[in-house]
Amino acid sequence: MKHSICKSLRIPAFLCLLAALGAAQPARAEPLSSRVLALYPQEAGEVVFVDLREARRSPYFAQVQAQIMPPSFKSLEQLAASLGLDFNRNVDRLSWAYVNTKGNAAQSELMGVAEGTFDPDAVSKAVRRHKLTVTHFAGRNLFSMGSDQTGRDFVLAFTEAADCVFGFREDVEKMLTRSAQGGANILNNDTMRRLVDEVNRDSPIWMVLNGDFTQLGIHQLLAEAIRMPGVDTLSSRVQTATVRVDLEHGLSTKIAARCASAADAMWFSTLLQGALVVERQLQDSKSPVMARVIGSSQVQRDQEKVSLDLSVPENDLAALIQNNGLVLHF
């Protein structure tokens, strides 16, 4: 069977996370555990975390979750259902990562971990009922979810800690090995660990990106502006980025980028402010509410750091969601 879940898909790296979950009651999100982080490879260049328990507190979550999750997750949910797994009911916390193995971040491959409550007996019954292919690795069952156009298997398995891991077979096998035996993982990557430590506290949704994935995000964020002379060179001086989404008192999103120098940060902040002005003008006729949100955004610079703060008051969220107007395309 061929499934779109196996294709190398990418999500828009920055502002797609604005399509979030406002109006939830204030609560403290739990950090992504070191146990789960240790399953990801040291070379991972992007990690995303969603605390679904907190997300489901929002009355808007069902309407906007498709804008938060990668497009491939819809296929994953459908395929997991054949194993008796209901992501909406069984999964409490979801994280995923991308590794740039081909020299092109846009063609990176997905691997992830779903934490929650799973019934192994129900999975076994579903496997027999649907006659699904099951293989074994290091004492664990690997359930085949299909293959990509090159014949590589996309599989799902459970660790000893009952975390559900998914990805291409070779990636999942390595995750199972790290779960059972340890080994080099993303916590051994000083850059990524520092980024995770910055955001992995009480934000229910966050993202961290290394240099390769930051460059991809900037190209998506700035779109046409990236074609201006000198802009591409300047964007390459932005080294890492983080995204945090908080749900108290509406929706607030903070995008923070670290540049190679304070001078680079000055030029990048100017470029970002210009892109916001252009986008606000484009939104004036399409969505006055979004134009107002963009107009109230703040770009700040501190030495080599540049941050963008966007806030959506509770009374504007419903209108933006109804008009599908929370995703910006710069």
The reported pLDDT for the residue numbered 218 is 81
More confident residue, 230 or 240: 240
Whole-angstrom Cα distance, residue 297 to residue 293?
Answer: 6
Q: What is the pLDDT of residues 251-289, one digit of tens each?
A: 788 999 999 999 999 988 988 888 888 888 888 888 888
Q: What is the pTM of this model?
A: 0.85
Region 218-244: what's the mean pLDDT? 74
Region 238-242: what's the mean pLDDT? 94
pLDDT more than 70, % of the chain: 77
The reported pLDDT for the residue numbered 304 is 96
Q: What is each CA distance from 76 to 6, 93, 134, 151, 152, in whole angstroms?
A: 9, 15, 17, 17, 16
The residue among 31, 40, 170, 157 whose CA lies nearest residue 96 is 40
Across the chain, mean pLDDT equals 80
Residue 96 dihedral angles phi and psi, to the nearest 5°: -150, 160
Torsion of CA 295, 221, 114, 117, to 10 degrees: 20
The reported pLDDT for the residue numbered 115 is 92
DSSP letter, residue 307: E
Whether residue 89 has pLDDT greater than 70: yes
The reported pLDDT for the residue numbered 11 is 34
Whole-angstrom Cα distance, residue 78 to residue 72?
Answer: 10
Region 3-15: what's the mean pLDDT? 37
More confident residue, 170 or 123: 170
Q: What is the pLDDT of residues 131-175, one digit of tens each?
A: 888 899 988 989 887 777 788 888 889 998 889 999 999 999 999
- Could you tell me the pLDDT band of residue 18, with boundaries at 50, 70 and 90? very low
The reported pLDDT for the residue numbered 127 is 81
The residue among 215, 295, 291, 265 whose CA lies nearest residue 46 is 215
Residue spans of the domains in the chain: they are 4-188, 190-322
The reported pLDDT for the residue numbered 152 is 87
- Residue 288's Cβ-count burial label (10 Å; 0-12, 13-18, 19+) is exposed
